[in-house]
């Protein structure tokens, strides 16, 4: 028999985005106007997806609390896993380039 959850921590270590991917060969086959419209729609859908994702997460945490679960939200100082994975960035930088990692970090900061 499963025991009900009594405590939960919001760690913020996972984010499940929904992404749109198009191969370069297919993308390059699109007329310029279609590329522009598609890129604009992808940007709009990213904003929408983040909005829905944040609301869903908030609703989930609210539902846990309403069910009597003690929910602890970690402070930035408690999120030690950020430092623990720093070596991953160092290892991948020579493979994918500093510019891409910088763009990734900027995007993550902006999305928070």
Length of the chain: 112
pLDDT score recorded for residue 105: 85
pLDDT score recorded for residue 107: 82
For residues 81 and 11, is the Cβ–Cβ distance under 8 A? yes
Other residues' Cβ atoms within 10 Å of the Cβ of residue 98? 10
pLDDT score recorded for residue 39: 95
* 69 dihedral zone (left: phi>0; alpha: psi -120 to 50; beta): beta
pLDDT score recorded for residue 81: 77
Q: How far is CA 112 from CA 21, 47, 54, 70, 96, in A?
A: 23, 12, 10, 24, 23
Predicted TM-score (pTM) of the model is 0.59
Structure tokens belonging to residue 68? 């009597």
pLDDT score recorded for residue 41: 95
pLDDT score recorded for residue 111: 67
Residue pLDDT tens, the chain, 112 long: 666 678 878 877 677 777 888 999 999 999 999 999 999 999 999 889 889 988 998 999 999 999 999 999 888 788 777 788 889 989 999 999 999 999 988 887 776 6
Question: Rounded to a whole number, what is the distance in angstroms from the first to the last CA of the chain?
Answer: 38
């Amino acid at each position: 028999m499963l025991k009900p959850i009594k405590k939960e921590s919001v760690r913020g270590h996972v984010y499940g985005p929904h992404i749109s991917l198009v191969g370069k060969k297919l993308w390059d086959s699109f007329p310029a106007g279609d590329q522009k419209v598609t890129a604009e729609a992808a940007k709009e859908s990213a904003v929408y997806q983040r909005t829905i994702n944040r609301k869903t997460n908030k609703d989930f945490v609210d539902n846990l609390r309403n069910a009597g679960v003690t929910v602890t939200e970690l402070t930035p100082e408690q999120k030690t896993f950020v430092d623990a994975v720093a070596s991953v960035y160092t290892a991948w930088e020579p493979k994918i380039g500093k510019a891409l990692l910088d763009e990734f970090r900027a995007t993550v900061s902006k999305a928070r």
